[in-house]
Amino acid sequence: MTPRLARRALLLAAGLLSASALAPALAAPPASATPRSSAPARSVWTARPQPHQPSGRFVLALGDSLAAGYQPVYGHQLPPLDPADHRRDQGYPHSYAAVVAKRLGLGLMDLGCPGETTVSFSTHPAMGPCTTLYRTAFSAPNQMAAALAVIARHPGKIALVTFDLGANDVDGCLSGGSLNDTCVLKQAVAVIERLPKIVTTIHAALEKADPRAPMVAMDYYDPFLGLAVRPGGAKGLALATASLGALEGFNAELRSVYGHDHVRVAHVASAFASTGTFPPSRVDGKIVPKNVAIVCQHTYMCPSSPKVSQDIHPNDAGYALIASAFLKALGR
């Protein structure tokens, strides 16, 4: 590991540990698949259907709950099916991949699995229904193998691969409402070590089957900026500031990994103006920096009622904002 990588991993760990002082629901990273609602994560995807094998050109979406487009308001609802083919899982309707596909006039095959990590992606899917999907539809044991099968089966048909992965890896470090600092540091470093092989493998297969099709991967927005509003005060602001510093270091390493394989980067952090503070805006009667306001407006991190749980996932507007970063990376 390079000294620079080690320093950034330490930054990530420090920020996540600061955020872990709050409730467990807020300790998960931006792409966590754990829904912050009354329904447990596993109840959301209890019977995921077999995807249709598209005949036209399509977007292949890979990753975790962000790739799938999960929102807490969906509760127990499963992703909708294509009305023209009831076997086809389209992901949730406002996922960034769905928005991108619609904007480009393309079909969509969404293989995103809630809870997926850089380990489960290539070994055992994070959730049982994902295992069933991959084995039934592609005779594949995991999302990596399923992705490679899709790419091999549809030469010339894949117009774009979207990708996000890595932020769920520290979820296993959560215990009793706090994070194990040794575990967090280890996992933060491991993400940066595992991700290159995953990206290289997918990108190489794509270049062989569809050399003109780009692969676009995203960096992350910082949902913990919403802590400046709730709980707010000096403590909330300090936690929000720490989380941003950690995420900036992690994003820098992600961009480096993607750049090494000539994978395009959707600058989601920039779309959310993560480091921008002006012009300030008003949220729940409070004057807050621009970056905090954007997170409050585009995620479930700033509910107006204290009885409503905070949630790190984007809302419809948030997924559209993420999609805009992908479209910008494509020159659209």
Q: The domain that contains 110 carries what CATH number?
A: 3.40.50.1110
- Whether 22 shows a pLDDT value over 60: the answer reads no
- pLDDT digit string, tens, across residues 158-213: 999 999 999 898 766 655 444 466 776 788 789 999 999 999 999 999 999 999 99
* 209 and 151 Cβ atoms separated by less than 8 Å: yes
* 122 and 144 Cβ atoms separated by less than 8 Å: yes
- Whether 266 shows a pLDDT value over 80: the answer reads yes
Burial code (b: 16+ CB inside 10 Å, e: under 16) for 23-51 equals: eebbbbbbbbbbbbbeeebbebbeebbeb
HEC profile of 101-148: HHHHCCEEEECCCCCCCCCHHHCCCCCHHHHHHHHHHHCCCCHHHHHH
- Whether 27 shows a pLDDT value over 50: the answer reads no
Count of the separate structural domains present in the chain = 1
Sheet hosting strand 264-266, strand order edge to edge: 107-110, 58-62, 158-163, 215-218, 264-266
Categorize the per-residue pLDDT at 4 as very low, low, confident or very high, splitting at 50, 70 and 90: low
* 254 and 8 Cβ atoms separated by less than 8 Å: no
Share of the chain above pLDDT 70, in %: 74
Question: Tokens for 175?
Answer: 């215990």
- Where in the sequence is the domain holding 102, given as residue range(s)? 3-329
Q: Which residue has the higher pLDDT, 4 or 70?
A: 70
Beta bridge partners of 61: 110, 162
* 33 and 310 Cβ atoms separated by less than 8 Å: no
**For range 70-94, the mean pLDDT:** 60
